[in-house]
Amino acid sequence: MSARNTDSNGIVVIGLGRFGCHLASALVALDHEVLAIDHSPEQVQRWSNHLERVVQADATEEGALHQLGVAEFRRAVVAIGASVEASVLTVLALVELGVPQIWARATSDKHAKILDSVGAHHVIFPEAETGERVAHLIVSKMLDFVEFGDDFAIAKVRAPGTLVDRTLGEIGPAQRCGVRVVGVKLPGERFRYATDDIRLGRDSMLVIEGTIEQVQGFAALS
């Protein structure tokens, strides 16, 4: 291992399709060691100049993963989306190797149930999650948006014009749509935790939290 962040022996990313390659690149950018695996020699060749460790192998074979030292990793992501069978068999192989944290990409509810039943610890729907997030951004004034499963959301919004040159204490965000302001970015400054004495300037950015309806309502203020 290099001098990267190897506190958990790095991360294995299996499947270098669009999601897998972007995930691997993002992990490297976050200074983590990544072992990328794909069955396609073309994909391995394509990403060999962008990732330090890219290997061609059949990840559905436990023996192949064992030879690559995958059992020494604490985290693995199965990013395979084109083949449900390959995705499930890869998760099974990782389970047999005893990898403590297995993340797996699902393309349908049925696929997710199978992945969960064979031992995946975390099942993700990247396409669905991205689609829902973009939909909220398109139809609202929010600049960024993260939705949680219990009707709770965090969003980044531009401070409404009617609130400019007023302090957060004067505004009382909780009295306006019920949201809570968590962070503030004043023009030319960095984000910081919100306090009642912060006076909003034009083009100030706010990080707010609340129910989805409350967040959307606050973002709609003019």
CATH number of the domain bearing residue 213: 3.30.70.1450
Do 31 and 118 have their domain in common? yes
Q: Is residue 179 part of a domain?
A: yes
Residues 195-218: tens digit of each pLDDT? 989 999 888 999 999 888 888 888
Q: How far is residue 194 from each of residues 22, 122, 165, 167, measured CA to CA in Å?
A: 33, 33, 15, 10
Same domain for 142 and 85, yes or no, is no
Query: Are 135 and 118 in a shared domain?
Result: no
Please check the confidence at residue 9 and state whether its pLDDT lies above 80. Answer: no
DSSP state of 159: P
Query: How many domains would you assign to the chain?
Result: 2
| Residue 5, domain member (yes or no) | no
Residue 121's pLDDT is: 94
Domain boundary residue among 124, 157, 183?
Answer: 124
116-145 pLDDT, tens per residue? 999 999 998 887 777 777 777 777 788 888
Per-residue confidence band for 2, with pLDDT thresholds at 50, 70 and 90: very low
In a domain, 2, yes or no: no
Q: Is 99 helix (H, G, I), strand (E, B) or coil?
A: coil
Residues 117 and 178 in one domain: no
pTM: 0.70
119 and 139 share a domain?
no
| Residue 67 maps to a domain | yes
**15 and 120 housed in the same domain:** yes
Token pair in block for residue 71: 């059992």
Is a pLDDT exceeding 80 seen at residue 105? yes
Give yes or no for residue 222 having a pLDDT over 80: no
Residue pLDDT, tens place only, 29-78: 888 899 999 999 999 998 888 888 999 999 999 999 999 999 999 999 99
pLDDT tens digits, 108-117: 899 999 999 9
pLDDT of residue 176: 67
**149 has pLDDT over 70:** no
pLDDT bucket at 193, cuts 50 / 70 / 90: very high
Instruction: Quote the domain boundaries for residue 205.
Output: 130-219
Average pLDDT rounded to a whole number, residues 5-16:
75
3-state SS assignment for residue 201: coil
Q: Same domain for 199 and 134?
A: yes
Looking at the fold, whether 141 and 178 belong to one and the same domain comes out as yes
Higher pLDDT, 154 or 129: 154
Per-residue pLDDT at 7 = 47
The helix or strand, by DSSP H or E, that contains position 97, with its residue range, turns out to be: helix 84-97
198 and 149 both lie in a single domain: yes
Beta carbons of 146 and 133 less than 8 angstroms apart: yes
Of 124, 158, 184, which closes a domain? 124
Summarize the confidence of residues 22-26 as an average pLDDT: 90
Reduce the DSSP state of residue 37 to 3 states and report it: strand
According to DSSP, residue 167 is labeled: B
What is the total residue count of the chain? 222
Least confident of 82-91, 95-104, 121-130, 194-203: 121-130
Domain boundary among 124, 151, 185: 124
* Residue 134 and residue 115 in one domain: no
Range 135-156 average pLDDT: 80
